[in-house]
Amino acid sequence: MATFLYIDTAGEKAMVAISKDHQILAMETNEMSNTHASFVQVGIDKILKKTNTSIQTMDAVVVTLGPGSYTGLRVGLSSAKGIAYAINKPLIGVSTLALLANHVIVNHKEKLSVENVQIFSMIDAKRMEVFGAIYKQDLSVILSEQAIILDSIFMTGLIEKGPLICIGSGANKTSILFSNNLVYYLDEQYDIKDFEQIATEKWSKKEFIDNAYASPSYLKEFYQGPAKSTK
């Protein structure tokens, strides 16, 4: 079994945690998205002290790769890379969309009994767009991660292949756009247990990411409008 350090700054709520042998030993969270950068190291110091643990005893550093907040993803991955490099331990990258799908698989088994059910993980990307991916109930990919413009034609095409379970921050606005008895909406988020499960599986398969070349999964380019004139 392994001891993992987790860093997740992909969304409005940030989290750092330590697990050992499938048990969550300590966790710190931050709900002020504009302070994630200053939170990470402070949070890690706190959980190390709580568990009387040295950073050197971590077997791997686990980090969310996105999609999510542009700034948050950069903060999390750069922190994770720095720590993994300093302690010479592997880096495990986890998709936020896969975490959402795993949450459905673990916590809503009763909804997965329908034939050909699809899990649509969706993160709000403003307007009528989401960052999304679609999974089977074994977490294999039906539709890979991408930026998706939501409309009734797209949703109708999906349910022709089977019922949908939509989860994530994009679920509420999608439910307003499209109502159908073959679509179930979950306004829920992943948690540390989902993180631990996927990290453990990747650890067992030695699915590590390259510390030098790994980059966040933005899915679309960040656009910053022109600066406002001060005149």
The pLDDT value given to residue 1: 78
The pLDDT value given to residue 230: 44
The pLDDT value given to residue 68: 94
Q: Indicate yes or no: pTM above 0.85.
A: yes
pLDDT digits (tens, 9 = 90+) for 158-197: 999 999 999 999 999 999 999 999 999 999 999 999 999 9
Q: Is the pLDDT of residue 13 over 70?
A: yes
Q: Is the pLDDT of residue 228 over 90?
A: no
β-strands 183-186, 164-167 pairing: parallel
Kindly state the percentage of the chain with pLDDT values over 70: 95
Q: How many CB atoms lie within 10 A of CB 208?
A: 17
Domains parsed from the chain with CATH numbers: 3-95+191-204 (3.30.420.40), 97-186 (3.30.420.40)
What is the mean predicted confidence (pLDDT) over 42-48?
98
Determine contact, residues 62/195, Cβ cutoff 8 Å: yes
pLDDT band at residue 225 using 50, 70 and 90 as cut-offs? very low
Determine contact, residues 34/45, Cβ cutoff 8 Å: no
pLDDT digits (tens, 9 = 90+) for 51-103: 999 999 999 999 999 999 999 999 999 999 999 999 999 999 999 999 999 99
DSSP sequence for the chain: --EEEEEE-SSSSEEEEEEETTEEEEEEEE--GGGHHHHHHHHHHHHHHHTT--GGG-SEEEEEEESS-HHHHHHHHHHHHHHHHHHT--EEEEEHHHHHHHHHHHH-GGGG-STT-EEEEEEE-STTEEEEEEE-TTS-EEEEEEEEE--HHHHHHHHTTS-EEEESTTHHHHHHH---TTEEEE-----HHHHHHHHHHHHHTT--B-TTT-----SS----PPPPP--
pLDDT band at residue 219 using 50, 70 and 90 as cut-offs? confident
DSSP sequence for 43-66: HHHHHHHHTT--GGG-SEEEEEEE
Strands, sheet with 118-124, edge to edge from the N-terminal-most edge strand = 141-149, 129-135, 118-124, 164-167, 183-186
Angle at 67 between CA 64 and CA 69, to 5 degrees: 90
The pLDDT value given to residue 221: 59
What is the mean predicted confidence (pLDDT) over 212-229?
66
